[in-house]
Amino acid sequence: MRRYSYSLSIVIITYNGADLTDRLMGSLWPLIDKSDDTEIVIVDNHSTDSTRTILDRWKSKLTDRLTVIYAEKNLGVAGGRTIGTESARGEMIMYLDNDTIVSAEAVNRLRSYLETHPSCGLVAPALRSLSGELQESAKPFPGIGVKVRNMVAGHKSGSNVSYGDTDTIHPYYVIGACQLFRRATYDSVGGLDTRIFYGPEDADFCERIRQTGLTIDYLQNVTIVHEWQRATRRSLFSRLSREHIKGLIHFYIKHKRFF
Protein backbone atom coordinates (compact mmCIF):
# COMPACT_ATOMS: atom_id res chain seq x y z
CA MET A 1 0.00 0.00 0.00
CA ARG A 2 1.25 3.47 -0.92
CA ARG A 3 2.34 5.60 2.03
CA TYR A 4 1.62 9.34 1.94
CA SER A 5 3.68 12.16 3.41
CA TYR A 6 1.00 14.80 2.82
CA SER A 7 -2.76 15.03 2.68
CA LEU A 8 -2.66 17.17 -0.47
CA SER A 9 -0.23 17.66 -3.35
CA ILE A 10 -0.87 20.62 -5.66
CA VAL A 11 0.63 19.92 -9.10
CA ILE A 12 1.28 22.86 -11.42
CA ILE A 13 2.88 22.89 -14.86
CA THR A 14 4.45 26.01 -16.29
CA TYR A 15 5.57 27.09 -19.72
CA ASN A 16 6.68 30.71 -19.64
CA GLY A 17 4.14 33.01 -17.97
CA ALA A 18 6.47 33.76 -15.04
CA ASP A 19 4.25 36.57 -13.73
CA LEU A 20 1.19 34.30 -13.74
CA THR A 21 3.06 31.60 -11.85
CA ASP A 22 4.31 34.11 -9.29
CA ARG A 23 0.75 35.39 -8.79
CA LEU A 24 -0.61 31.86 -8.31
CA MET A 25 2.10 31.03 -5.78
CA GLY A 26 1.25 34.21 -3.89
CA SER A 27 -2.38 33.14 -3.70
CA LEU A 28 -1.34 29.70 -2.43
CA TRP A 29 0.97 31.07 0.25
CA PRO A 30 -1.72 31.57 2.94
CA LEU A 31 -2.74 27.93 2.53
CA ILE A 32 0.81 26.61 2.69
CA ASP A 33 1.84 28.95 5.49
CA LYS A 34 -0.93 27.72 7.81
CA SER A 35 -0.93 24.03 6.95
CA ASP A 36 1.79 21.41 7.20
CA ASP A 37 -0.13 18.73 5.28
CA THR A 38 0.13 20.32 1.82
CA GLU A 39 2.97 20.35 -0.72
CA ILE A 40 3.39 21.94 -4.14
CA VAL A 41 5.00 20.23 -7.12
CA ILE A 42 5.84 22.39 -10.15
CA VAL A 43 6.98 20.99 -13.48
CA ASP A 44 8.46 23.60 -15.78
CA ASN A 45 8.01 22.62 -19.42
CA HIS A 46 11.30 24.20 -20.57
CA SER A 47 10.36 27.85 -20.14
CA THR A 48 12.52 30.49 -21.81
CA ASP A 49 11.44 33.50 -19.73
CA SER A 50 12.20 34.38 -16.09
CA THR A 51 10.24 31.42 -14.67
CA ARG A 52 13.35 29.83 -13.16
CA THR A 53 14.14 32.99 -11.21
CA ILE A 54 10.59 33.10 -9.85
CA LEU A 55 10.67 29.43 -8.88
CA ASP A 56 14.08 29.73 -7.24
CA ARG A 57 12.71 32.49 -5.04
CA TRP A 58 9.68 30.44 -3.99
CA LYS A 59 11.87 27.38 -3.43
CA SER A 60 14.00 29.33 -0.96
CA LYS A 61 10.84 30.34 0.88
CA LEU A 62 9.06 26.96 0.92
CA THR A 63 12.13 24.64 0.96
CA ASP A 64 10.95 21.01 1.22
CA ARG A 65 7.28 21.95 0.76
CA LEU A 66 7.99 22.85 -2.88
CA THR A 67 9.42 20.43 -5.44
CA VAL A 68 10.50 21.94 -8.78
CA ILE A 69 11.20 19.73 -11.78
CA TYR A 70 12.75 21.22 -14.93
CA ALA A 71 11.87 19.28 -18.07
CA GLU A 72 14.40 19.22 -20.90
CA LYS A 73 11.63 19.90 -23.43
CA ASN A 74 7.96 20.87 -23.52
CA LEU A 75 6.13 17.69 -22.51
CA GLY A 76 2.64 19.11 -22.94
CA VAL A 77 -0.09 19.11 -20.33
CA ALA A 78 -0.46 15.39 -19.71
CA GLY A 79 3.27 14.74 -19.91
CA GLY A 80 4.16 17.50 -17.47
CA ARG A 81 1.39 16.61 -15.04
CA THR A 82 2.35 12.94 -15.13
CA ILE A 83 5.91 13.73 -14.02
CA GLY A 84 4.56 16.01 -11.31
CA THR A 85 2.03 13.46 -10.08
CA GLU A 86 4.62 10.69 -9.92
CA SER A 87 6.77 12.94 -7.73
CA ALA A 88 3.86 13.98 -5.52
CA ARG A 89 3.54 12.51 -2.02
CA GLY A 90 -0.06 13.47 -1.23
CA GLU A 91 -3.13 11.30 -0.68
CA MET A 92 -5.10 13.81 -2.75
CA ILE A 93 -3.88 15.50 -5.92
CA MET A 94 -4.96 18.91 -7.17
CA TYR A 95 -4.15 20.07 -10.71
CA LEU A 96 -3.95 23.82 -11.14
CA ASP A 97 -3.23 25.87 -14.24
CA ASN A 98 -0.69 28.59 -13.58
CA ASP A 99 -3.19 31.24 -14.77
CA THR A 100 -5.47 30.62 -11.78
CA ILE A 101 -5.83 32.48 -8.49
CA VAL A 102 -7.03 30.39 -5.56
CA SER A 103 -7.95 30.87 -1.92
CA ALA A 104 -7.35 28.61 1.05
CA GLU A 105 -11.11 28.55 1.61
CA ALA A 106 -11.80 27.22 -1.89
CA VAL A 107 -9.11 24.55 -1.65
CA ASN A 108 -10.30 23.41 1.77
CA ARG A 109 -13.92 23.23 0.66
CA LEU A 110 -12.97 21.06 -2.29
CA ARG A 111 -10.91 18.81 0.00
CA SER A 112 -13.76 18.52 2.47
CA TYR A 113 -16.18 17.59 -0.30
CA LEU A 114 -13.92 14.86 -1.66
CA GLU A 115 -13.31 13.48 1.83
CA THR A 116 -17.04 13.26 2.61
CA HIS A 117 -18.24 11.94 -0.77
CA PRO A 118 -16.71 8.51 -1.40
CA SER A 119 -18.57 8.11 -4.70
CA CYS A 120 -16.90 11.24 -6.11
CA GLY A 121 -13.96 10.49 -8.37
CA LEU A 122 -13.01 14.07 -9.23
CA VAL A 123 -14.31 17.44 -8.07
CA ALA A 124 -13.87 20.91 -9.54
CA PRO A 125 -14.97 24.44 -8.64
CA ALA A 126 -16.65 27.12 -10.70
CA LEU A 127 -14.20 29.25 -12.65
CA ARG A 128 -14.61 33.00 -13.02
CA SER A 129 -12.54 35.51 -14.95
CA LEU A 130 -10.83 38.46 -13.29
CA SER A 131 -13.90 40.53 -14.20
CA GLY A 132 -16.25 37.98 -12.61
CA GLU A 133 -17.60 36.24 -15.69
CA LEU A 134 -18.55 32.61 -15.16
CA GLN A 135 -16.66 30.31 -17.53
CA GLU A 136 -18.16 27.26 -19.17
CA SER A 137 -15.92 24.69 -17.53
CA ALA A 138 -18.42 21.89 -16.80
CA LYS A 139 -18.66 20.22 -20.17
CA PRO A 140 -20.67 17.67 -22.17
CA PHE A 141 -18.95 15.16 -24.45
CA PRO A 142 -16.51 17.16 -26.64
CA GLY A 143 -18.06 16.17 -29.98
CA ILE A 144 -16.69 17.22 -33.35
CA GLY A 145 -19.27 19.96 -33.91
CA VAL A 146 -18.53 21.64 -30.59
CA LYS A 147 -14.76 21.47 -31.04
CA VAL A 148 -14.84 22.82 -34.60
CA ARG A 149 -16.97 25.75 -33.45
CA ASN A 150 -14.60 26.50 -30.57
CA MET A 151 -11.41 26.26 -32.62
CA VAL A 152 -12.56 28.03 -35.78
CA ALA A 153 -15.20 30.52 -34.65
CA GLY A 154 -13.72 31.24 -31.24
CA HIS A 155 -16.53 30.39 -28.83
CA LYS A 156 -16.30 32.56 -25.72
CA SER A 157 -17.95 31.61 -22.47
CA GLY A 158 -19.21 34.51 -20.43
CA SER A 159 -21.54 35.55 -17.65
CA ASN A 160 -24.60 34.10 -19.44
CA VAL A 161 -23.45 30.54 -18.63
CA SER A 162 -25.96 28.77 -16.38
CA TYR A 163 -25.99 25.29 -14.88
CA GLY A 164 -29.27 25.60 -12.97
CA ASP A 165 -29.89 26.10 -9.29
CA THR A 166 -28.35 22.97 -7.76
CA ASP A 167 -25.09 23.31 -5.85
CA THR A 168 -23.58 20.22 -7.48
CA ILE A 169 -23.86 18.95 -11.05
CA HIS A 170 -22.30 15.92 -12.73
CA PRO A 171 -20.97 16.87 -16.19
CA TYR A 172 -19.25 14.57 -18.66
CA TYR A 173 -15.99 16.30 -17.77
CA VAL A 174 -14.53 19.43 -16.23
CA ILE A 175 -11.63 21.31 -17.79
CA GLY A 176 -8.23 20.79 -16.22
CA ALA A 177 -7.70 24.32 -14.85
CA CYS A 178 -8.57 23.02 -11.37
CA GLN A 179 -9.27 19.37 -10.56
CA LEU A 180 -9.06 17.51 -7.26
CA PHE A 181 -9.01 13.71 -6.94
CA ARG A 182 -7.60 10.92 -4.81
CA ARG A 183 -4.21 9.51 -5.70
CA ALA A 184 -5.78 6.04 -5.49
CA THR A 185 -8.24 7.03 -8.23
CA TYR A 186 -5.41 8.27 -10.44
CA ASP A 187 -3.56 4.97 -9.98
CA SER A 188 -6.66 2.87 -10.62
CA VAL A 189 -7.34 4.43 -14.04
CA GLY A 190 -3.70 4.42 -15.13
CA GLY A 191 -2.99 8.15 -14.87
CA LEU A 192 -3.17 10.65 -17.71
CA ASP A 193 -2.86 9.68 -21.36
CA THR A 194 0.51 11.18 -22.35
CA ARG A 195 -0.21 10.49 -26.01
CA ILE A 196 -2.34 13.64 -25.82
CA PHE A 197 0.00 16.65 -25.83
CA TYR A 198 -2.60 19.38 -25.43
CA GLY A 199 -6.31 18.63 -25.01
CA PRO A 200 -8.48 16.67 -24.50
CA GLU A 201 -6.48 14.96 -21.75
CA ASP A 202 -8.96 16.37 -19.21
CA ALA A 203 -11.98 14.79 -20.94
CA ASP A 204 -10.15 11.48 -21.32
CA PHE A 205 -9.16 11.42 -17.64
CA CYS A 206 -12.71 12.18 -16.52
CA GLU A 207 -14.16 9.56 -18.86
CA ARG A 208 -11.93 6.84 -17.45
CA ILE A 209 -12.86 7.87 -13.92
CA ARG A 210 -16.54 7.70 -14.85
CA GLN A 211 -16.01 4.20 -16.22
CA THR A 212 -15.01 3.03 -12.73
CA GLY A 213 -18.44 4.03 -11.41
CA LEU A 214 -17.28 7.23 -9.70
CA THR A 215 -18.77 10.63 -10.46
CA ILE A 216 -17.36 13.88 -11.84
CA ASP A 217 -18.65 16.64 -9.56
CA TYR A 218 -18.76 20.37 -10.25
CA LEU A 219 -19.44 22.63 -7.27
CA GLN A 220 -21.19 25.84 -8.26
CA ASN A 221 -20.81 27.32 -4.77
CA VAL A 222 -16.99 27.08 -4.76
CA THR A 223 -15.15 29.54 -7.00
CA ILE A 224 -11.60 30.31 -8.09
CA VAL A 225 -10.29 32.83 -10.62
CA HIS A 226 -9.08 31.60 -13.99
CA GLU A 227 -7.51 34.04 -16.43
CA TRP A 228 -8.65 32.00 -19.38
CA GLN A 229 -5.77 31.43 -21.81
CA ARG A 230 -7.23 29.93 -24.99
CA ALA A 231 -3.90 29.04 -26.61
CA THR A 232 -5.45 27.26 -29.60
CA ARG A 233 -7.13 30.50 -30.69
CA ARG A 234 -3.83 32.02 -31.70
CA SER A 235 -3.92 30.32 -35.08
CA LEU A 236 -5.69 27.31 -36.50
CA PHE A 237 -2.35 26.31 -37.99
CA SER A 238 -0.18 26.81 -34.91
CA ARG A 239 1.62 23.87 -33.34
CA LEU A 240 -0.77 23.84 -30.36
CA SER A 241 -3.78 23.78 -32.66
CA ARG A 242 -2.31 20.88 -34.62
CA GLU A 243 -1.53 19.02 -31.40
CA HIS A 244 -5.05 19.70 -30.15
CA ILE A 245 -6.56 18.22 -33.31
CA LYS A 246 -4.28 15.16 -33.06
CA GLY A 247 -5.33 14.73 -29.45
CA LEU A 248 -9.01 14.89 -30.37
CA ILE A 249 -8.64 12.27 -33.10
CA HIS A 250 -6.82 10.00 -30.66
CA PHE A 251 -9.56 10.58 -28.06
CA TYR A 252 -12.40 9.82 -30.49
CA ILE A 253 -10.79 6.62 -31.75
CA LYS A 254 -9.87 5.51 -28.24
CA HIS A 255 -13.42 5.88 -26.94
CA LYS A 256 -15.10 4.91 -30.22
CA ARG A 257 -17.26 7.99 -30.26
CA PHE A 258 -17.18 11.16 -32.36
CA PHE A 259 -20.43 12.92 -31.40
**What does the alpha-carbon distance between residue 152 and residue 168 come to, in Å, rounded to a whole number?**
31
**35: Cβ–Cβ under 8 A, 6 or more apart, which residues?**
104
- Beta-bridge mates of residue 68: 42
* pLDDT value at 234 more than 80: no
State which fold the 6-255 domain adopts.
Spore Coat Polysaccharide Biosynthesis Protein SpsA; Chain A (3.90.550)
| pLDDT at residue 235, rounded to an integer | 54
By CB atoms closer than 10 A (0-12, 13-18, 19+), residue 72 is: exposed
In terms of phi and psi (left: phi > 0; alpha: psi -120 to 50; beta: otherwise), the region of 46 is: left
Q: Which of 213, 215, 222, 41 is nearest to 126 (CA)?
A: 222
| pLDDT at residue 113, rounded to an integer | 98
**What does the alpha-carbon distance between residue 158 and residue 234 come to, in Å, rounded to a whole number?**
19
**162: Cβ–Cβ under 8 A, 6 or more apart, which residues?**
none
Average pLDDT, the chain: 92
**Cβ contacts of 235-243, under 8 Å, gap ≥ 24:** 236/151, 236/152, 240/198, 241/151, 243/76, 243/197, 243/198, 243/199
Question: pLDDT of 147-181, one tens digit each?
Answer: 776 656 555 555 567 788 899 999 999 999 999 99
Percent of the chain with pLDDT over 90: 81
With bands split at pLDDT 50, 70 and 90, how would you rate the model's confidence at 231? very low
With bands split at pLDDT 50, 70 and 90, how would you rate the model's confidence at 232? very low
By CB atoms closer than 10 A (0-12, 13-18, 19+), residue 30 is: middle
Question: pLDDT of 74-129, one tens digit each?
Answer: 999 999 999 999 999 999 999 999 999 999 999 999 999 999 999 999 999 999 99
Helix (H, G, I), strand (E, B) or coil at 255: helix
Contact 170, 220 (CB under 8 A): no
* pLDDT value at 217 more than 70: yes
**What does the alpha-carbon distance between residue 82 and residue 193 come to, in Å, rounded to a whole number?**
9
Q: What is the rounded average pLDDT of the residues 219-237?
A: 74
| pLDDT at residue 122, rounded to an integer | 98
